[in-house]
Every structure is written in structure tokens, then in C-alpha cells.
Structure 1
Amino acid sequence: MSDLRIGPDGIARCGWVGDDPEYRRYHDEEWGRPLHGERPLFEKMSLEGFQAGLSWITILRKRPAFRAAFAGFAPDAVAAFGDADVERLMGDAGIVRNRAKILAAIGNARLVAQMPEGELDTLMWSFAPPPRSEADRPVDFGGVPATTPASDALSKALRAAGFRFVGPTTMYALMQSAGMVDDHLVGCRFAGSGVTVTSGS
């Protein structure tokens, strides 16, 4: 059985999209497309951390509320959050109210805020493997790993720098989402169609 899905528009997509319009938009416009910039990568890191143990569609639907609650994920702004902000976030039903994840996002923002401009982007992308050939593209979900040596190494580097909620599985999901790897299946209309998304997006 194919792990592709033909949408109502007749386009073949990775089957995990299902019938959800927001998931379809995310798959078509974001997933697997190269993402650069301090704020977008910090946001992605934060949201992937909040996703741990939950479905990504849950986080995606809550993303507008997360952005409002976390000052648009501007690292300098989040780095300035204090105890009152933590309690505010714990009372915000629009986000995932997990104290450890909230504290990790704030702590991670403080680390990013201390980095020279562009260093987070350079660090994270230094672990991106070479672009895959079409022959190496997964043909089904069984060919998509949960972790790779690259995600293990990225996780290790971030944890050594003090970042939290950046385990190897979480970092591989980030690498997929941010276009460091392209795991669109063979036959997916969007395989290999990545275009760079910049910090202005």
C-alpha cells in the first residue's frame, strides 16, 4: 500500500497530511523547505520542544497562540521573561502549559540572545547532511528514520551549549521541518521543491 495520498486537488502528497487543510498547507509550503534566521529557527526549536509527546498538528493549530504568548519568538524578548511571565504562560489555555517546556524555551532564548548574530543559524545548519539524490529519497514511511547520526550530533552540540528539550528525535523533526533534510516521499509532488525561507518570512 502506498504511503502517498491523493488530495482533493488531485496532487500526490506524503500520506501523513491526511485530510486536514492546515496540515496540507504546512506540508506544501513549509515542511522540507530550507529555513534560515535566528528568530525562525528559535521558534522552530521551541515548538518542536513543546511537541515532545504530542502530535505536530496540535502544535501547528496552537502556533498563533504560541507566537502571541512568546512575543513572536524574538529571542531577546523571550530571554527577558521572568517569573510573572512563566505564570502567565502557565495560565494560557491557548498553548501547551508544561512548566518544564516553558522554562526550557526561556532558557534557550537566553542562550540564543548571547550568541553573535547568525551563530545559531550557522551552528544548526553545520549539521545538515548533503542534499539527497532522488535515488536516496524514501519510498514509504518505513524509510524515514526517527534519528540520524546528524541529528544525534546536533542534539549533542546543543545540549553541550546548555540547550534543553533538544533530544535527537526532536532535532531530527526540526531538521525535516526546517529543510535540513528533505523527507518527502518518492512520488510526492513537493519532493525536492524546497526554496529558502528567510528570517523575514
Structure 2
Amino acid sequence: MGERCGWCGDDPLYVTYHDTEWGVPEHDGRALWEKLILDGFQAGLSWITILRKRDNFRAAFQGFHPGAIATWGEPEVARLLTDPGIIRHRGKIEATIGNARAYLAMGGAEAFADRIWSHVGGAPLVNHFATLDEVPASTPLSERVSKDLKQAGFRFCGPTITYAWMQACGLVNDHLVGCPARRV
């Protein structure tokens, strides 16, 4: 058995996330949406910061229920800007509300999942990287998915955020060759 991907270090929370969640194919559209939102909040920060605050985000954003979030306005934005348990960034909070509206306009969970998975033909793309240096920050595919999301009204979903999200949700399997969590 090889070594796990080095990006998670030895933080127990990060190791558990790597071993049990990162790269596991996610087909539930609501869960895909939540992870996209969290990846958007990560922009400019480390993932471990978001992971440590994930339960706070879930509480603050009503379990990431798009139907509820889509109805929010300035009072909810103001409330979230005072919540120390989350990343208090107006643009990211407002994007979450807009992204909930875009998600619903797209048709909700099943339509969102179908649309996202159609970009990879319904099955994870498996890469064969031996070192972290080989793993790209974005790809032509993540550029296409990002463009598709933006055309549908999503924000905070540039090619780099989108690629990280695709890795996390198992659309792309970027566990290093030899990683025990590779699952192929």
C-alpha cells in the first residue's frame, strides 16, 4: 500500500476527509451544489480552513437548502456578515444566494447533477499522476465546466475553483498513483 496524497498532511480532520470523502463520486445534486459553494468560499484560503468551518456553514446556510437560500436578501447577508463561524465575505455570501437561484432555475438536484456529470460522460475521469507537482490547478475541461456554470448564472466558479470541486466530487480522480484512497 502506498502513501496517501501529500496535500492532506497529518491533520486528522484532513486525513479523514482525504480518505473517505475527497474524490468519491458524488451524484446527489444538492450535495454537489453544497460542495461547489464551499469551494467558492475557499477561494484565497486553504481547504482545511473551510473544512474546519463546514458545520458552521451548514448551520448558517440552513443545511445548504437552495430553496430557502434563494429567497434571501440583505437581512440574511447582514446576519451572515456578523457570523464568526463562517468566512464573512459579502461577495461570496451574495454569490451563494445567486447560485441557489441559478441552481433552481437549472431544475434542481437531478438536473444539476445530470448537467455536471454530462461533462465527464457520466463516469469519473481517472488521471495517473505520480506526484503532486503533476496535478494541474485547472484544465481545459474545468474551463468548459466553469463557462457552463457561469452561463447558467453561477459565480465564484472559475476554472481553478471548478477543478478543485471536480476533484473533491470525484468527477476527476486525482488521487496519486499508489494512494490507498485511489479506488480504481
Asked if these proteins are the same fold (TM beyond 0.5), I'd say yes
For these two proteins, the number of residue pairs brought into alignment is: 182
TM-score with structure 2 setting the length: 0.94
Q: Is the 8 A contact 2:124 2:172 kept in 1?
A: yes
Q: Does the alignment pair 1:126 with 2:118? A: yes
TM-score with structure 1 setting the length: 0.86
- C-alpha distance in structure 1 between counterparts of 2:80 and 2:141, whole Å: 33
Unaligned runs of 5+ in 2: none
Out of 50, 54, 60, which is 2:41 matched to?
Answer: 50
Query: 1:170 matched to which residue of 2?
Result: 161
Deviation by residue 1:140-165 (Cα, 9 ceiling, x = unmatched): 01110111111000001111111100
Q: Does the alignment pair 1:66 with 2:19? A: no
Percent of aligned pairs sharing the same letter: 53
- C-alpha distance in structure 2 between counterparts of 1:111 and 1:169, whole Å: 20
Q: Does the alignment pair 1:186 with 2:177? A: yes
Q: 1:149 to 1:12 in 2, by over 3 A?
A: same
Q: Does the alignment pair 1:17 with 2:12? A: no
Unaligned runs of 5+ in 1: 1-9, 194-201
Q: Which has the larger helix fraction?
A: 2
- C-alpha distance in structure 2 between counterparts of 1:11 and 1:150, whole Å: 29
Q: Is the 8 A contact 1:127 1:151 kept in 2?
A: no
Matches within 5 A, 1:1-201: 12-117=3-108, 118-128=110-120, 131-132=124-125, 136-192=127-183
Q: Is the 8 A contact 2:4 2:180 kept in 1?
A: yes
Q: 1:132 to 1:76 in 2, by over 3 A?
A: closer
Deviation by residue 1:51-88 (Cα, 9 ceiling, x = unmatched): 00000000000000000000100110111112111000
Q: 1:159 to 1:132 in 2, by over 3 A?
A: closer
